[in-house]
Structure 1
Amino acid sequence: MMDIDNRNHFLNNLARNLDRPRRMESVERPKWSLRPQLELYKDYTHDELVDVLEGQCKVIHTNFKRTTFTELSTVLTETIQGHDGKRIIASNDPRNNEYGMDEIYAKWREDKIDVRLWDETTGKENQEFAEKADIGITFSEVTLAESGTVTLFNDKNNGRTISLLPRVHVVIIPKSTIVPRMTQAVKQIHEANQGGNDVASCVSFISGPSNSADIEMNLIVGVHGPVEATYIVVEDK
């Protein structure tokens, strides 16, 4: 296995300064008698988790909608119109074809809406357009019901600025991606990595629009990101 540059020198020096021998064997994971992180919502159905997610969206100032495959086009178009979306940037996600997004975007272009997919070949132009865009559209990979958090795998087809720079962030959430909480999300990512599957080097956990509070706990929305966010849960086929 390839060694990390200067790792042994660093660890030997650290052990020497701590005045103890360097540990060479792996640390055995403790067996906890109680594991509450695995118990919360563990027996909930997907429908019940959707209800939990909807309730949390009210807390984090996020618009929440449910729809089906056949109605997604209508709901998404209404959402764009509700946010007065004229310039839109979206991830170049492989699910665009599966969910009919290519046809939706084509129709919007006919209606004179400037829709652009993230294009790795155009470099910084993606970021420049995202900065001026009204809406950024992404898919959630794993969705945390407890905290109202969507998980984005940012890579060459899904730049991080899609969810950061536009005024509004719209997230398409396949119902099957909803899990109880961070525990299950991290487990999925870890298992994917251990199984040799490609996992993005940048994983973003986003809970609604940008929020910030000053020392007097006055909440301000949109300081360092989207002012509004809309989650659209789509029933699985």
Structure 2
Amino acid sequence: MPKGEIYNRDSFLANIRVKVGGISPEIPVEKPNWSVSPQRNVLRGASQDELVQLLSDQCTQIHTDFFITTVDDLPSKLIEVFGFYEAESIVYSDDSRFSDYGIEQYLIEKKAFKWDNESREKSIEQSEKADIGITFSDITLAESGTVVLLNNPGQGRSVSLLPEKYIAIIPKSSIVKRMTQATDIINQQVKNNETIASSVNFITGPSNSADIEMNLVVGVHGPVRAAYIVIEDR
């Protein structure tokens, strides 16, 4: 199917900008200075250990298996979870943390497939076939039990979406209170002129839907099971 053509794009957008208040690409939108920010009082003063416990508690609500381990014991914990999930085929993201945390060699020995952004079709195909997809969490929201993935080219959204089961490896330091802190982190990256991911994925346990007669169905549009493995930072 041929691609459509866009006509009068600039004049169309210019007219919209006038209608909504004269904004333009040359004038950045200023962030409002709110008089009150109640969202910042939620979990105020909570320690990192308390956030880990909150995340653990939330996992019971979102049907997610929760594990905690150390960096040294991470390989054996992965073996435990793979056995628990009866994993035969594995796909994982192209992320230096797999090597940094000493588990990439084990995944290579397991003949796991590493996401290859230069061969996206093959990577997607492997993700469709895999029993388990594994990624590291970039930011983790304790309040909702949500893993945040900043999708750089090596991350590959299919790794967390297409396999039957999903494992998120969560450095303890990545755990924050809630969405408020996650947006603060991303906003600071923008201020620092850092390269920002083309998309940001928020994953809260396995796929769930209760749209049909309010009956909960798991696995409609993603993994049917999910596990979070929290690791104590070095």
Mapped partners of 2:40, 2:141: distance in 1? 13
Mapped partners of 1:79, 1:135: distance in 2? 10
Structure 1 residues 51, 8: closer, same or farther in 2, change over 3 A? farther
Shift of 1:190: 1.2
Give the root-mean-square deviation of aligned CA atoms.
2.0
Report the counterpart of residue 173 of structure 1 in structure 2: 170
Q: How does 1:133-172 map to 2 (within 5 A)?
A: 133-172=130-169
Structure 1 residues 70, 210: closer, same or farther in 2, change over 3 A? same
Mapped partners of 1:58, 1:99: distance in 2? 27
Q: Deviations over 1:22-62 (max 9, x none)?
A: 36777664443321111111211110000111111111100
Report the counterpart of residue 3 of structure 2 in structure 1: none
Residue 202 of structure 1 pairs with residue 202 of structure 2: no
Structure 1 residues 30, 102: closer, same or farther in 2, change over 3 A? closer
Q: More displaced, 36-45 or 176-185?
A: 36-45
Report the counterpart of residue 55 of structure 2 in structure 1: 53
Normalising by structure 2, report the TM-score.
0.89
Gaps of 5+ in 2: 1-7
Structure 1 residues 128, 32: closer, same or farther in 2, change over 3 A? same
Letter in 2 for 1:221: V
Residue 217 of structure 1 pairs with residue 220 of structure 2: no
Decide whether the 8 Å contact of 2:17 with 2:23 is kept in 1: no
Percent of pairs with identical residues: 45
Mapped partners of 1:13, 1:153: distance in 2? 31
Partner secondary structure for residue 124 of structure 1 = helix
Mapped partners of 2:54, 2:18: distance in 1? 47
How many aligned positions are there? 225
Residue 12 of structure 1 pairs with residue 9 of structure 2: no
Gaps of 5+ in 1: none
Structure 1 residues 34, 14: closer, same or farther in 2, change over 3 A? closer
Decide whether the 8 Å contact of 2:210 with 2:216 is kept in 1: yes
Partner secondary structure for residue 36 of structure 2 = coil
2:89 to 68, 87, 98: 87
Normalising by structure 1, report the TM-score.
0.88
